[in-house]
């Protein structure tokens, strides 16, 4: 019946609390199981308290009393975890832990239950209904009571890790703040400024060189223009032995012998002065006349 009701299903099992403050023990107050539990609890972690829920663990009335203690522990929330069991005995001695009332009370318990009935080879139905089955009451105590020394070591390791993480954070923050110190800011500013100054100097030198090249080009153009103007100056041409000839009457230039007539009075302008001449003959290069 209890199996058909799903009381043995694994889906309903609950994990044991990692750090229980109080362990409830449903067992005989005079049995060796309780003495073993108290001794192991004292050795492992004396900060965990134990509440004994006394009941007979064998006989006709045992099943009902065990179930009643389990329900009372839940009603008054007397513990964080329950150990339900007894030491070894005959098969008849262990039968109360297989009664339906005990199995239902274990399965219905809101407090996680560790079933510890007899020795390792002994089994009871409460083992299947409980959240965890322990081979002995002593083993049950080992399961539910965390070792204080282990907790202290774990806490120390966590504290060391936390302190290390904090130190790393502080060091990173210190380095970050240090980056904004006046001397660091000045160095960073100079690091940014120096390339810009170099680029400015390079641009200035390039501009000056370009201005010098442009001025030199204009100077050469001016010199060439002056030279061309000087070369085109009529006085310069006359100074090289050339002369200007024009009709004395009309003042028109005579550019060819064909334009001259016999008897015509001409004005000849060499480099200096004026020469008056009369045409007695005119000969062109083409005709020789």
Total Cβ atoms within 10 A of residue 172: 10
In 103-217, where do the E strands start and end? 113-117, 132-133
CATH topology for 10-146 is: Rossmann fold (3.40.50)
Q: What is the mean pLDDT of residues 179-198?
A: 74
**How would residue 136 be classed by pLDDT, with cut points 50, 70 and 90?**
very high
Is the pLDDT at 110 greater than 80? The verdict is yes
pLDDT for the residue numbered 267: 87
pLDDT for the residue numbered 2: 65
Total Cβ atoms within 10 A of residue 149: 10
pTM of the model: 0.60
**How would residue 50 be classed by pLDDT, with cut points 50, 70 and 90?**
very high
pLDDT for the residue numbered 109: 96
The Cα 267–Cα 38 span in angstroms is 154
- Please name the residue ranges forming H helices in 23-124: 32-44, 62-75, 91-94, 100-108
**How would residue 255 be classed by pLDDT, with cut points 50, 70 and 90?**
confident
pLDDT for the residue numbered 194: 82
The Cα 159–Cα 19 span in angstroms is 18
The Cα 47–Cα 37 span in angstroms is 14
Is the pLDDT at 58 greater than 60? The verdict is yes
| Contact in structure between 257 and 282 (CB atoms under 8 Å) | yes
In 125-284, where do the E strands start and end? 132-133, 244-247, 265-269, 275-278
Q: Which residue, among 76, 81, 75, 74, has the nearest Cα to 17 in the 3D structure?
A: 81
- What DSSP character marks residue 267? E
Average pLDDT, the chain: 88
| Contact in structure between 278 and 265 (CB atoms under 8 Å) | yes
Who wins on pLDDT, 40 or 5?
40
The Cα 257–Cα 30 span in angstroms is 164
| Contact in structure between 271 and 236 (CB atoms under 8 Å) | no
**How would residue 228 be classed by pLDDT, with cut points 50, 70 and 90?**
confident
The Cα 32–Cα 55 span in angstroms is 14
Which phi and psi (to 5°) does residue 114 adopt? -110, 120
The Cα 141–Cα 204 span in angstroms is 88
Is the pLDDT at 95 greater than 80? The verdict is yes
The Cα 261–Cα 277 span in angstroms is 12
Q: Which residue has the tokens 């399965």?
A: 107
Domain boundaries, the chain: 10-146, 193-232, 236-278
Residue 35 CA, chain-centre distance (Å), reads 57
- What DSSP character marks residue 253? B
Q: Which residue, among 171, 194, 173, 191, has the nearest Cα to 183 in the 3D structure?
A: 191
pLDDT tens digit sequence for 122-135:
999 999 999 999 99
């Amino acid at each position: 019946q209890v199996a058909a009701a799903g009381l043995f299903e694994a889906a309903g099992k609950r994990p044991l609390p990692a750090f229980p403050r109080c362990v409830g023990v449903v067992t005989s107050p005079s049995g060796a199981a309780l003495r073993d539990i108290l001794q192991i609890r004292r050795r492992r972690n004396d900060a965990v308290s134990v509440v004994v829920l006394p009941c007979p663990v064998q006989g006709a009335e045992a099943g009902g009393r065990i179930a009643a203690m389990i329900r009372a522990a839940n009603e008054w929330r007397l513990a964080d975890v329950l150990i339900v069991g007894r030491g070894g005995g005959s098969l008849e001695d262990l039968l109360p832990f297989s009664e339906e009332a005990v199995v239902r009370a274990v399965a219905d318990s809101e407090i996680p239950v560790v079933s510890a009935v007899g020795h390792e080879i002994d089994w009871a139905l409460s083992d299947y209904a409980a959240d965890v089955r322990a081979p002995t009451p002593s083993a049950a105590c080992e399961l539910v009571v965390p070792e204080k020394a282990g907790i202290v070591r774990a806490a120390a390791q966590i504290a060391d890790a936390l302190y290390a993480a904090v130190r790393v954070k502080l060091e990173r923050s210190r380095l970050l703040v240090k980056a904004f110190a006046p001397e660091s800011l000045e160095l960073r500013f100079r690091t940014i400024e120096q390339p810009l100054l170099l680029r400015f100097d390079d641009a200035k030198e390039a501009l000056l060189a370009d201005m010098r090249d442009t001025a030199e080009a204009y100077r050469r153009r001016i010199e060439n223009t002056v030279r061309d103007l000087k070369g085109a100056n009529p006085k310069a041409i006359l100074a090289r032995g050339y002369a200007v000839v024009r009709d004395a009457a009309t003042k028109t230039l005579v550019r060819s012998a064909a334009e001259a007539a016999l008897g015509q009075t001409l004005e000849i302008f060499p480099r200096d002065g004026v020469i008056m001449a009369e045409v007695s003959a005119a000969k062109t290069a083409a005709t020789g006349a």
